[in-house]
Amino acid sequence: MCGIVGYVGQRQALPLLVEGLKRLEYRGYDSAGVAMMEQNRLSITKSAGRISVLEQQLDVDGSTATTGIAHTRWATHGAPTEINAHPHGDASHRIALVHNGIIENYTALKKYLQQKEVPFVSDTDTEVLAQLIGHLYRGNLEEAVREALRDVHGTFGIAVVCADEPGTIVAARRGSPLLIGVGQDEYLVASDASAILAHTSQVVYLSDNEMAVISADSLHTTTLDAVPVTKEIQEVEWTLDQIELAGHTHFMEKEIFEQPEALRNCMRGRVDLAEGKVHLGGFADVARELTRARRFIMTACGTAWHAGLVGEYLLEDLGRIPTEVEYASEFRYRNPVIEYGTVTVAISQSGETADTLAALGEARQRGALALGVVNVVGSSIARETDAGIYLHVGPEIGVASTKAFTGQVAVLAMIAAFVGRRKHLSQSATQEFLEALSQIPDRMEKALENNAKAKAIAEAYADRDNWLYLGRGYQYPVALEGALKLKEISYIHAEGLPAAEMKHGPIALISDGMPVVVIATQGLQYNKIISNIEEVRARGGRVIAIATEGDSQIANLASDVLYVPDTLEPLQPMLTVIPLQLIAYHAAIARGCNVDKPRNLAKSVTVE
């Protein structure tokens, strides 16, 4: 959600900023802008709509500025208009600021500034912060920013420039990610490493309540209270090639087909088939506490929440530990019960999801052991947990999550085996499970052969406005995830349900020709799901079945069948979700939707 790029150095800043903004498009946005230091004069250009619209207003090659900041905005306070776009300036036109996050007390601050006769032009909370910094500026930008942030309640990742201090950027964060790229006689500021990977892989991650003063030849970091902080330079593990399309039409398509290799990377060095063990280095210091755990709480949002549901089944099945899955957005507002021996697992692709971070903080405050399952190295959740596991599935650019979901399920499967082996699972049982897990990438490749048929199914039903997804047991979370994917990128209304619940009300929705996707793989409840298919057929629904290879019965009952290879039932979700991802992808294309940048959505939701 929203994106920040900044540059200070010896090169022309504007081409780097525009390039960085384009690499942040996947995060979701509705307006964009840049602020440049042109010969000690501040120049701000911004527009509603796509970056291409902004680019038409800029002299990208002709600009001589070597310092600037840029932003893509996803509207929160105020409509997506040019006036509300970032950067925002102050009344003197000497200060410019870009901001991710929400200033919760902006109304009170705005009223105070209006009493001082400070004029406002936008509807945003961000302009209030820019005006406050300008109001407090007395010749020292660092001190003005520091003083302003003392009065701010809420979350922010900001970059600020001042016409009176050319060649300087002041950056700060609280609750919204911000990093600094380290180059040769240059520095870059970004909310996401993908924006700067073309120029450096050396980064410094700012932590909450830290700020940095940056020039071409220096980087000075402190807390917001002016206490010096020594920061470690880290290497971004992703490469530029990984965030390119590499011949694919869309990032979502690329990431769907990357899943077999992504899972091999996820499991590499962690699954020991010879010993029947799972090696999770991130848990080395808390292994004893995990063995003694009395209860697990998974907290997440969206797709990660669905992965958590699969994790609940896995931990109770393999680990025999009571497990709950909580919406992170609700968790801290309902006075949750955190007892001795509770382990909280925060699941997030970006590691920056605001709701999940807040839930994690609440659990830790109440004494729970906090674990993280995230994809982005150095992210906030990774830094604020007691221990954790990285997915290592590579960058995920498409807004609709695909390989992060299967990576999360794979990691949760390894955690369940890790805990189960220490509690009650025999070595042979663990070995059997891990052997099946290690075969999932190969079976995924087989499942991806459904692409052409999934495309035909999607095109046949893309004009239908309502779909139903049904699953039982381990497949119920997959039904939820399949429905979410269809909603996210094709804008078709879809519901995911436990198949047995259909007859308790939702069966009234089934009408003649309605697409009903049923995950009917071989498992303990196979006969039950067949009965549910019969109920759908009797009411005119068109059954699209996801079935196990070799099932000779299902073709007689379903209008269309997509087959996936057989595996242990707890591992089936990593295979059955693939045809659903493919259906959603092709349905979105058939309906002319923007697959990688669906309307109203952002890749990383960094505000509550």
**Ordered domains of the chain (ranges, CATH):** 3-236 (3.60.20.10), 244-438 (3.40.50.10490), 444-608 (3.40.50.10490)
Point out the catalytic residue in the list 254, 403, 487, 603: 603
Q: What is the pLDDT of residue 406?
A: 98
Q: How many CA atoms lie within 13 A of 542 on its CB side?
A: 13
515-520 and 542-548 strand pairing: parallel
Q: What is the pLDDT of residue 353?
A: 86
Residue 47 contacts residue 101 (beta carbons within 8 Å): no
Residue 441 has which token pair? 């990438």
- Tell me, what amino acid is at 26? Y
Point out the catalytic residue in the list 2, 162, 301, 593: 2
Q: Under 8 Å CB-to-CB from 572, ≥6 apart: which residues?
A: 474, 475, 521, 523, 564
Residue 451 has which token pair? 């692409």
- Tell me, what amino acid is at 567? T
Q: How many CA atoms lie within 13 A of 352 on its CB side?
A: 32
The alpha helices in 211-301, defined as continuous H runs, are 251-257, 259-267, 287-291
Residue 6 contacts residue 190 (beta carbons within 8 Å): yes
Phi, psi of 495 (to 5 degrees): -125, 140
Q: How many CA atoms lie within 13 A of 266 on its CB side?
A: 34
Ramachandran region of residue 292, left (φ > 0), alpha (ψ -120 to 50) or beta?
alpha
**What tens digit of pLDDT does each residue of 390-436 get?**
999 998 988 899 999 999 999 999 999 999 999 889 999 999 999 99
Q: What is the pLDDT of residue 254?
A: 95
* 43: helix, strand or coil: strand
For the CA atoms of 387, 391, 394, 400, the dihedral, rounded to the nearest 10 degrees, stands at: -110
Burial 29-60 (b: 16+ CB within 10 A, else e): bbbbbbbbbbeeebbbbbbbebbeebbeebee
Residue (of 608, 603, 74) closest to 375 by Cα position: 603
Residue 88 has which token pair? 């925002």
* 203: helix, strand or coil: strand
* Cα–Cα distance measured from residue 133 to residue 149, given in angstroms and rounded to the nearest whole number: 9
Q: What is the pLDDT of residue 1?
A: 60
Residue 215 contacts residue 188 (beta carbons within 8 Å): no
Which residues make beta-bridge pairs with 182?
A: 187
Q: Under 8 Å CB-to-CB from 225, ≥6 apart: which residues?
A: 209
What's 323's DSSP letter?
Answer: E
Residue (of 24, 64, 409) closest to 179 by Cα position: 24
* Cα–Cα distance measured from residue 5 to residue 33, given in angstroms and rounded to the nearest whole number: 10
Q: Is 603 a catalytic residue?
A: yes
Residue (of 246, 242, 589, 262) closest to 448 by Cα position: 262
State the distance between the two ends of the chain, measured CA to CA, in whole angstroms. Answer: 11
User: Which string of DSSP letters, residue by residue, matches 333-346?
Assistant: TS-----TTEEEEE
**What tens digit of pLDDT does each residue of 324-344 get?**
999 999 998 888 888 899 999
Q: Under 8 Å CB-to-CB from 161, ≥6 apart: which residues?
A: 6, 35, 37, 42, 67, 68, 69, 95, 96, 141, 168, 169, 170
Which residues make beta-bridge pairs with 175?
A: 156
User: Which string of DSSP letters, residue by residue, matches 90-105?
Assistant: -TTS-EEEEEEEEETT
Consecutive sets of 10 residues in the chain, 608 residues long: mean pLDDT of each? 90 94 82 89 92 89 91 82 93 94 93 95 93 96 96 94 95 92 95 90 93 95 96 84 85 96 95 91 90 94 97 96 94 87 94 89 91 89 91 91 97 96 91 96 97 97 95 96 97 93 83 93 90 88 95 93 97 98 98 89 63
Predicted TM-score of the model (pTM): 0.84
Q: Under 8 Å CB-to-CB from 82, ≥6 apart: which residues?
A: 31, 46, 47, 48
For the CA atoms of 447, 519, 478, 484, the dihedral, rounded to the nearest 10 degrees, stands at: 100
